[in-house]
């Protein structure tokens, strides 16, 4: 009887179990040459805006097809959209300017000069202002999004990285070289508060839970710093992977996602209040360091390209990439 049972089990077909957690489900091929930085999801309009070298590539989120581009954005870093105004804004780091474009046609409608090396960019809807965060001049340029006129400059006391808003007139920005998080008031264009994120070092990516104003900063040293935007204090930290440059929050799954470029993973953090914990480390591809989430489908998007190891490093110390390998990873359960 034992022998018969053994033979029966041995001959059963082996069926691969479906992936239970987050995993790469698709790759959207874009091609071309050059690097990338931020990407922005407009869930309502079903568009993904991806920075790529000197242009922004626009992808239809329902078909995963490239549907257009915004050219001549020198040293592009970030993209912000103002659906209520029908406008979009691109930070052009090399030309110290912002490209303004029409959301329906993707045509450029103007440019605005900013501080030095505008990096992150944000549209704040209650004030109808666009804020650039300028790495070299260590300040924020405030632009009237309706008229395109510069309305002011906010000194930040350090090198700003990513920024978010709470939908109620408050803006939060990581300060990389002081390991701080700064709160700005959009109406008065003034700094409101500054808190330390230590033991977080060199905070870069930043995301927000709009319901609770909980903030998620990803840092060197494999740390996510979780802080209270309303209370103005560091709540706790969570361990993440190496080399993060982006983080996203999905209110639908109540999860924060750290994109760890050096490890080639996504760390998924869940919780509430003062208790947050890692629930998963999902594989992606090494180099996938920035991230955005579609809150409608709960899919994650991470740009990446194949490193050309034979070409060595570029003059900026960054790797060179193989031609025509640029793509966006789609990650979901």
Q: Are residues 66 and 327 in contact, defined by beta-carbon separation less than 8 angstroms?
A: no
Confidence of residue 308 (pLDDT cuts 50, 70, 90): confident
Position 17 pLDDT exceeds 60: no
Residue 221, sorted as left (phi over 0), alpha (psi -120 to 50) or beta, turns out to be left
Position 214 pLDDT exceeds 50: yes
126 with 181, same domain? no
188 with 333, same domain? yes
230 with 122, same domain? no
The reply to whether 127 falls in a domain is: yes
Q: Which of these ranges, 75-79, 287-291, 298-302, 311-315, has the smallest mean pLDDT? A: 311-315
196 with 326, same domain? yes
Position 9 pLDDT exceeds 60: no
276 with 179, same domain? yes
Domain boundary among 155, 178, 198: 155
171 with 303, same domain? yes
Position 7 pLDDT exceeds 80: no
Q: Answer whether 0.75 is exceeded by the pTM.
A: yes
pLDDT at 318: 75
By percentage, how much of the chain surpasses pLDDT 70? 93
126 with 199, same domain? no
Domain boundary among 124, 155, 186: 155
93: domain range?
39-155
Q: How far is the C-alpha of 254 from the C-alpha of 134, rounded, in Å? A: 31
The closest alpha carbon to 270, from 258, 259, 262, 261, belongs to 258
The reply to whether 146 falls in a domain is: yes
Position 21 pLDDT exceeds 60: yes
Confidence of residue 5 (pLDDT cuts 50, 70, 90): very low
Domain boundary among 129, 155, 181: 155
Q: How far is the C-alpha of 139 from the C-alpha of 160, rounded, in Å? A: 7
Q: Are residues 150 and 134 in contact, defined by beta-carbon separation less than 8 angstroms?
A: no
The reply to whether 64 falls in a domain is: yes
The closest alpha carbon to 219, from 264, 178, 276, belongs to 178
Q: 76 has which bridge partners?
A: 92
Position 263 pLDDT exceeds 80: yes
CATH of the domain at 317: 2.130.10.10
145 with 180, same domain? no
The closest alpha carbon to 73, from 40, 43, 50, 41, belongs to 50
pLDDT at 319: 79
146 with 27, same domain? no
66 with 203, same domain? no
- Tens digit of each residue's pLDDT (9 = 90 or more) over 130-189: 999 999 999 999 999 999 999 999 999 999 999 999 999 999 999 999 999 999 999 999
The reply to whether 167 falls in a domain is: yes
148 with 196, same domain? no
The closest alpha carbon to 142, from 188, 109, 102, 99, belongs to 188
97 with 163, same domain? no
Q: How far is the C-alpha of 20 from the C-alpha of 279, rounded, in Å? A: 12
Task: Name the average pLDDT for the chain.
Answer: 93
Confidence of residue 19 (pLDDT cuts 50, 70, 90): low
Q: How many domains does the chain have?
A: 2
């Amino acid at each position: 009887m034992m022998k018969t049972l053994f033979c029966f089990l041995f001959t059963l077909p082996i069926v691969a179990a479906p992936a239970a957690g987050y995993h790469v489900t698709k790759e959207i091929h874009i091609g071309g040459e050059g690097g990338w930085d931020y990407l922005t999801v407009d869930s309502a309009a079903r568009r993904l805006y991806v920075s790529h070298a000197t242009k922004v590539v626009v992808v239809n989120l329902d078909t995963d097809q490239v549907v257009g581009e915004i050219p001549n954005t020198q040293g592009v870093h970030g993209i912000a959209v103002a659906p209520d105004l029908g406008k979009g804004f691109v930070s052009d780091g090399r030309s110290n300017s912002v490209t303004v474009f029409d959301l329906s046609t993707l045509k450029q409608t103007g440019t605005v000069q900013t501080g030095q090396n505008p990096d992150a960019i944000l549209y704040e809807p209650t004030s109808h202002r666009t804020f650039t965060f300028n790495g070299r001049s260590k300040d924020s340029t405030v632009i009237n999004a309706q008229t395109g006129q510069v309305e002011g400059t906010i000194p930040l006391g350090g090198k700003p990285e990513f920024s978010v808003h709470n939908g109620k007139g408050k803006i939060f920005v990581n300060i990389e070289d002081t390991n701080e998080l700064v709160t700005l008031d959009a109406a008065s264009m003034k700094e409101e508060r500054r808190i330390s994120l230590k033991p977080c070092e060199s905070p870069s990516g930043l995301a927000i839970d709009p319901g609770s104003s909980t903030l998620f900063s990803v840092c060197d040293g494999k740390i996510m710093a979780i802080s209270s935007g309303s209370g103005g204090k560091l709540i706790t930290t969570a361990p993440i992977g190496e080399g993060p440059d982006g983080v996203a929050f999905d209110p639908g799954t109540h999860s924060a996602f750290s994109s760890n470029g050096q490890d080639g993973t996504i760390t998924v953090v869940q919780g509430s209040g003062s208790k947050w914990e890692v629930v998963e480390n999902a594989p992606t591809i090494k180099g996938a360091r920035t991230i955005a989430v579609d809150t409608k489908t709960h899919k994650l998007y991470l740009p990446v390209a194949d490193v050309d190891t034979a070409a060595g490093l570029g003059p900026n110390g960054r790797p060179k990439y193989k031609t025509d390998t640029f793509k966006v990873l789609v990650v979901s359960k």
